[in-house]
């Protein structure tokens, strides 16, 4: 990642990235370290994160790893001590898993989130950004998705992310903490986990095609998603933490490209990049999934100067190259 998304000197600022051993979190931590942050502390319990993601960060003297769980308030207090800016990424993902394990998702995504918020307030953190999700739009049919128009949640995962937004607003109003949330739309890129029962679609497709094992498409494959390369998620986190625009605070923003593609198109694009004609296997639609997804990103452009730098095809090519090197 060679692009620069900030103008401030970071050498006097300390950052906490919760979930920083995970996919998006490790990219945010790497950016901050590359650009000379005074300290970048990663808090992760390694339930979803990987030590291999931390290996990229260890070369920087400003990096600090703290193994711990956001469900423990004392851990969160220790993690926030001496920190200026927080990027809260520690959470459980996956709609299907949340349907199977609603209590676990509530403990981590709601209870843990409130712990981190509380610790940030107690430690007088300057600015706090957190991961919400496009899943909060639920059954709202309008495209493109506008931040103020949300529907009924379709999964426990979506409910936890909607609850995060409610708590964030309350904490802003009651305690005066400066924060903002990001509704991510299908973030993908290098380091995304292709293994496990709840792996994301792009790494799953790439690994399946490379290994010639069944690649499953849920439903007819004509459902659409606003696939968003991880650099764009990094950009909004950096701009959100560092912005001086008070009008931008205490809001939620769509983080996407503003273009959508069908899952069938995605699969064919993966095959093309891998010079393969390996056919997919279609199966039943997945419970809790929304049919179509497309973001309006004008609010983030206006208030945070968010400018997507890498579109779907270029990001996909870079991601596939990463997995080819990893698995060849």
Residues taking part in catalysis:
157
* Chain centroid to CA 46: 16
d(CA 303, CA 307): 11
What single-letter DSSP state applies at residue 103?
H
Question: For residue 288, is it left (φ>0), alpha (ψ between -120 and 50) or beta?
Answer: left
Q: Specify the residue for token string 């995605």.
A: 266
Residue pair 11/36 in contact by the 8 Å Cβ criterion: yes
Contacts of 244 (CB under 8 A, 6+ apart): none
Alpha helices in the chain (DSSP H): 23-34, 51-55, 73-80, 95-100, 102-105, 113-122, 156-175, 201-211, 230-242, 263-273, 298-304, 312-327
Q: Is 318 left (phi over 0), alpha (psi -120 to 50) or beta?
A: alpha
107, 127 contact by CB (below 8 A): no
Q: SS3 of 89, please?
A: coil
Dihedral sign, Cα of residue 53, residue 258, residue 96, residue 285? negative
């Amino acid at each position: 990642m060679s692009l620069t998304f900030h103008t401030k000197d970071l050498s006097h600022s300390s950052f906490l990235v919760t979930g920083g051993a995970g996919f998006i979190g490790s990219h945010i931590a790497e950016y901050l370290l590359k650009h000379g942050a005074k300290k970048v502390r990663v808090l992760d319990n390694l339930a979803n994160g990987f030590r291999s993601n931390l290996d990229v960060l260890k070369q920087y003297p400003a990096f600090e790893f703290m193994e711990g769980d956001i469900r423990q308030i004392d851990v969160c207090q220790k993690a926030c001590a001496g920190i200026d800016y927080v990027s809260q990424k520690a959470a459980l993902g996956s709609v299907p898993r949340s349907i199977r394990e609603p209590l676990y998702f509530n403990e981590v995504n709601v209870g843990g989130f409130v712990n981190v918020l509380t610790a940030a307030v107690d430690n007088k953190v300057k600015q706090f950004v957190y991961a919400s999700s496009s899943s909060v739009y639920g059954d709202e049919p309008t495209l493109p998705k506008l931040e103020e128009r949300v529907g009924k949640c379709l999964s426990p995962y979506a409910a936890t992310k909607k609850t995060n937004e409610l708590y964030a607003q309350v904490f802003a109003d009651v305690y005066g903490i400066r924060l903002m949330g990001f509704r991510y739309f299908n973030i993908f890129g290098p380091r995304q986990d292709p293994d496990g029962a709840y792996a994301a679609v792009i790494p799953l497709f790439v690994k399946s095609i490379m290994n010639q094992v069944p690649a499953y498409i849920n439903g007819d494959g004509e459902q659409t998603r606003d696939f968003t390369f991880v650099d764009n998620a990094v950009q909004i986190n950096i701009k959100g933490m560092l912005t001086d625009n008070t009008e931008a605070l205490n809001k939620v923003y769509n983080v996407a490209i503003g273009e959508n593609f069908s899952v069938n198109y995605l699969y064919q694009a993966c095959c093309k990049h891998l010079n393969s004609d390996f056919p997919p296997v279609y199966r039943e639609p997945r419970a809790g999934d929304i049919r179509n997804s497309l973001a309006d990103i004008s609010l983030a452009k206006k208030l945070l100067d968010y400018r997507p730098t890498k579109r779907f095809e270029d990001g996909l090519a870079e991601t596939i190259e990463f997995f080819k090197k990893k698995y060849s």
